[in-house]
Amino acid sequence: MLVQELGLPKPVGERPLEMVERPVPEPGLGEIAIDVACCGVCRTDLQLVEGDLAARRLPVVPGHQIVGRVRSVGEGVDRWLPGDRVGVAWLGGSCGACEFCAAGRENLCADAEFTGWDRDGGYGESTLARADFAVPIPAAFTDQEAAPLLCGGVIGYRALGVAGVEPGSRLGLYGFGASALLTIQVALHWGCEVYVATRSQSEQARALDLGAVWAGSSRERPPQPLDAAITFAPVGSVVVAALEALKPGGTVAVNAIHLDRIPEFSYDLLWLERGVRSVANFTRRDAREFLALAAEIPIRTVVDVHPLADANVALGRVKHGEVDGAAVLTM
């Protein structure tokens, strides 16, 4: 089978991914083998291939927004059958025994494994996944429509919870890429007032078209104090801008696995019980709840499709903000 393999992190312009031939993998105990139909391209993939996110193992096949069909099942698997449509997301496994797993917070497990980081991901024609961490894909979505839901959608949904967003909340979204495009649809479904801060005028226009009540740059203060905010841009100064816009008691959820330094700021921005919380991965429950809600709304995804051979090109377009929605590799 053909895969895009990362051997050594380097700038995406130097084509860090190389197409190689690998044996078709066979599932082990508790695993399923998947014929990949498509895989979303995430900014986290870009951070991995360029080295901003330290590699856990090399070589590795990136990709954690996988949609495909079960080819075969390993010993001990009774939930999945060959031919089933399946999704595989960022959280690829956890120990199941620690205090966090026992409390339903498997996203914080010290022994968690992540797809495309610890385990080979979906930038290839076939892959393996733990059967108990794979998720069914609602029939409402095509393969390509479903792929972006498995990362940007689920993590955006968790970020709404971490930020304490409730129906009718006044919510700020800082950055308006693929994840925010999905998150705003959930927030609007809940009757929230949404304020979007992004430097791109075209993204500001899109936010207003989707139903945001205000759109501007992060240097501008929204016209109303916010109950909560979510930052998507991997830039620390944006976190400070979001704090400045919060009313007392509000929370900023930082939706980023990698962030440059947060600049020094006055304690006054935290005073009156404002808070900053990171969003670390997500749980299987988050994924199940979000996919059901996405089908109910229904959430609409915009995809920029590339063949597997153009994975470096797709990552470059993500880096330079040239993707209209979410990039997806097809096999």
Residue 259: per-residue pLDDT: 81
With a CB cutoff of 8 Å and minimum separation 6, the contacts of 266 are none
* Cα(221)–Cα(211) distance, integer angstroms: 19
Whole-angstrom distance between the N-terminal and C-terminal Cα of the chain?
11
* Amino acid sitting at position 318: V
- Print burial letters for 137-168: b (CB count within 10 Å at least 16), e (below 16): bbeebebbbbbbbbbbbbbbbbbbebbebeee
Is residue 152 classed as helix, strand or coil in its secondary structure? helix
Residue 146: per-residue pLDDT: 97
Residue 325: per-residue pLDDT: 86
List the domain boundaries for the chain. 2-141+301-330, 153-278
Residue 57 burial (10 A CB sphere; 0-12, 13-18, 19+): exposed
Tokens standing for residue 230:
């979510």
Give residue 116's Cα distance to chain centre. Answer: 13
Nearest alpha carbon to residue 66 among 36, 32, 25 = 36
Q: In what order do the strands lie in the sheet with 275-278?
A: 214-216, 193-197, 170-174, 226-231, 246-254, 275-278
Topology adopted by domain 153-278: Rossmann fold (3.40.50)
* Cα(174)–Cα(263) distance, integer angstroms: 16
* Cα(173)–Cα(237) distance, integer angstroms: 14
Residue 234: per-residue pLDDT: 84
Topology adopted by domain 2-141+301-330: Quinone Oxidoreductase; Chain A, domain 1 (3.90.180)
Residue with tokens 């393999």: 5
Q: What's the pTM value of the predicted model, to 2 decimals?
A: 0.94
Residue 266: per-residue pLDDT: 94
Is the bond preceding residue 298 a cis peptide, omega within 30 degrees? yes
Q: Return the H-helix or E-strand segment holding 113.
A: strand 113-114
* Cα(173)–Cα(65) distance, integer angstroms: 23
- Per-residue pLDDT of the chain in tens (331 residues, 90 and over written 9): 999 999 999 999 999 999 999 999 999 999 999 999 999 999 999 999 999 999 999 999 999 999 999 999 999 999 999 999 999 999 999 999 999 999 999 999 999 999 999 999 999 999 999 999 999 999 999 999 999 999 999 999 999 999 999 999 999 999 998 899 999 999 999 999 999 999 999 999 999 999 999 999 989 999 999 999 999 988 999 999 999 999 999 999 999 887 888 999 999 999 999 999 999 999 999 999 999 999 999 999 999 999 999 999 999 999 998 998 899 999 9
The CA-atom distances, in angstroms, between 88 and each of 32, 292, 293, 300 are 11, 16, 18, 20
- Which residues partner with 39 through β-bridges? 66, 329
Residue 257: per-residue pLDDT: 80
